[in-house]
Amino acid sequence: MALYLRKRLDNKAEIAVWQITETEEELMNITSVPTDELEEIMLFRSESQRRQKLAVRALINEVFEEKMYLNHHDNGKPYLENCATNISITHTDNYVAIITHEEEEVGIDIESLERDFSAVEKKALSEDEIDDLEDNRSKKNEQLAIYWCAKEAIFKRMSQNRVNFAEQIEVEKFNLKKEGELEATFIHKDEYEEEFDLEYMMFDRHVLVWLVG
């Protein structure tokens, strides 16, 4: 078992992170996967993707006492068929993470800091956000990763199609730390603004960002 982190938040949400150390075969052996879901997982040609999906299922099995049936809405948003608990899911090659809450909508995203996030500056940041970037290359990449994860987490929370990350999601300036809080605004197409508080942490060259509500 490779449960890396399980944390109950003050707002009654729960975060769980699984480090993928197992082979595909090992994950199959420790994971109880409903037949329909397993058939979908096996359609992925990439072994890495199959391991990620199986690790998600292993993590869900770890968090919930009862057997859960995972499905997705047409827009890709995950939901539990036999449980009203809200869930958001994210994964990389080495880690998968979920956030759950019995009542509030949630969003979560994880990224590896080994990835080059320079493209995020042009395609996902506003002019104000670009002005707030660090000059130091390493710190700038970490900053861009947090911006991207925050916007992805909000995007998952909102479940809307065709969101312009640069124009519709604005993250306030923040001080780069190992963990911290973020403030952001989602601007609807009718110009109505919705404000969100997010949290983030960095571990093992990864960034994890989440929000509740």
| 36-94: pLDDT as tens digits | 888 889 999 999 999 999 999 999 999 998 889 998 888 889 999 999 999 999 999 99
* Residue 84 burial (CB count, 10 A): 8
Across 169-194, average pLDDT: 96
Residue with tokens 């109880």: 32
pLDDT at site 38:
87
Q: Judge whether residue 1 has pLDDT over 80.
A: no
* Region of poorest pLDDT, from 61-75, 89-103, 104-118, 197-211: 61-75
The arithmetic mean of pLDDT across residues 136-148, rounded, is 95
Name beta bridge partners: 98: 16, 89
What whole-number distance in Å separates Cα of residue 124 and Cα of residue 130? 10
- pTM equals 0.94
Q: Can you give the pLDDT at residue 128?
A: 95
Residue at token pair 């199986």: 54
Estimate to the nearest angstrom the gap between the alpha carbon of 196 and the chain centroid.
15
Distance (Å, whole) CA 163 – CA 116:
22
